[in-house]
Structure 1
Amino acid sequence: MSPESGSIARLRAVEVSGDESVVEGPLRGYHHETYVVPLPGATGAARAARWKCREPRSNLLWFDRRCFTSEEQLLRVLQGRIARIPDVFEIDGLALQRFVEGRTLGSLYGAGQAVPHDVVRQIVELFGELAAVTSETLPVERRCHPEDRPADGDTAGFMERLICFTEQRVYEKNLPEFEALFAAIGLDGDSFRRLRKHVSGLRERPFCLLHADLHRENFIIDADRRLWTIDWELAMVGDPLYELATHLHLMRYPSWQRHRVVEQWRRTVETVRPGSSNGWRHDLRLLIDYKRAQSVFTDVIREALSLGHGAYASGPRLAHVAARLYKILADAALPLGLESVPAPSSIGTALVRWQRAHAGDVRIGEP
């Protein structure tokens, strides 16, 4: 029997579908264990579709803010306002998202590859739709604290809350386990002081809804070449330029296409809400720098945990992880104020020392 066979998510999927043989999954995903099922007794469009039944994975590290109480509630409110997002269907009090049939953008065009014009056009249209959704027109319950909701246009306050989350919930929360590893590669509490100084002076822009995780695996291309946007769990209200910065950071467009996307984004959001691109030439670089700095702390932890121990403490896997962390550190050296970046060999040595110190930690090697 596989570990998933007795999971809550699978048991619920079997219960909803009424037939274990039609349950597909678990699907690939970090935060949730997800299964896809048809709905017996459904009518119309619901009968023709398949639906996602999922549960959060246990013992996972969350490195991103979550603003809304319910992703399904948000999707209901956004129907008709954001084109091509999953429908939501409720059965016996359980909210299910429609499974979007198609292929991820990343499976068709991998990181670093150019994205076809027709797809970029739809991504830019999505930016315009997001810019039109404001906090005042979004009647959805929030889970974030009041201090995490700066006044409309307060981009500096928005950035400060993002830095606070990274500092408190990623760095400080994990210090008992990772302080020695952080220190070995040049990271400490002063890193955040330097980061705050680096990103200071942001211009004001009117806030709007942000998906906040627009990368190639969260875009689905259906059989008619239509672009669908999934996984709205990290959505928030905030600086529209932060949405663009996050998108560029995650998408890894070739440089020539990146410039075109920025210009199309600017024209689109200014048409929808004038002022949305205010100061973009100065601020976009700073926001991308924040994303690079944030990645250092999250990726150091994730990569260290992914190594496992024993046979994985050396060899090609360790060399690959050390080289990857070296590049991430080098990319973030400026915003973090790093005078030098340790060589991949030094990073590898630090990882081995950390592994040996935590050989009995049950979290090592978790998904």
Structure 2
Amino acid sequence: MDIQNHYYGHSAALAHHCGLTRLRHISGLLQHGWTVSNPILAQFGDFSDRGANRRRLAWTSSSRAWSVEEPISYSSKGEPLIDAIGAPYLYLLDAIRAAGKLPERTERSLVLPLHGTALLKVNGDHRAYAELVRQREGQAMVSLHVEDLQNPEIAGAWQEAGHTIVSAGERRDPYFLGRIVWMMTTSKRVISNRLSTSSLYAAISGAEVETYGPEFQLGSNAEVDPGAVMRDLWPEFYQESPDQAALREIAAAELGVADQRSAEELKRILGWDGSTMSPFFEYWLSGPVSKAQAVLGIKKRPEGAHATEAGRSPLHWLRHPLKHLPSPLPALPPLAPIEPLSI
């Protein structure tokens, strides 16, 4: 019922698992990224007043979604309105593997520096990081976020150090996750300067994962930047020679391997076993209105929602209004790893 359900090609990955030939609207709200905090608050705060009606779909039952901050609510039929279904990446990786389409792994290292968003900028020395990677990894493939690609200083720092720049695309691109699968399964080593969703994807895909480099700060408020929390909760990722088996075990828990569902179960939970007319109208009408009210301050968000963006005026969102609006669903991408965009 919101555009975030289709971010990064997640709905496409689930559609492949369910045997669909086209994308459909999801009945509920799907977690679109890994988060240190409660994903229900972090990603669904704009729709808090609809908690009694809308199912929330988290990646894992061991996540912060089941904390005391957000008690589980139930439908009129007595069904819990929080379900764990596993990360969409897991379904796409499994489907590509089952189809025998996984590419061969190379000796290349892949680097994914901590990135910002349209609302939150990252402060850090990309030039120093690019040189450090060159010393330790040699020439590497560097996947930059679309926001960083638009910054000539960031892209230039990596290019001048001799690295190859690629991109998985922007978050509404349905090919995004297929490109991530290609990068994670063709690279021997995956490097970042902070634990991230990509670190978990790499570990579960069988790549060697290492976290090193200069500290980058996300946003201007260091108190809400989750970097220090990550080190405290998952020090295994920050060791000099990490135990790769331990990292895979953490990744499996955080991505929800144990919470993956069968095609029939998933179709029922997503509302794909019947008409999606109601989610269609929510996607185009009530969803955008509810989000606009939250952005403009007309509707109060719950305490702790969107913590890293707290205190920002509505003008920050209104500078990029189209990023929040729904758009027609694209065609279902092919079931295959997809080479990233070359820059």
Name the structure with the higher helix share: 1
Task: Please give the TM-score of this superposition, normalised by the length of structure 1.
Answer: 0.26
Task: Please give the TM-score of this superposition, normalised by the length of structure 2.
Answer: 0.27
Higher relative contact order (CA 8 A, sep 6+): 2
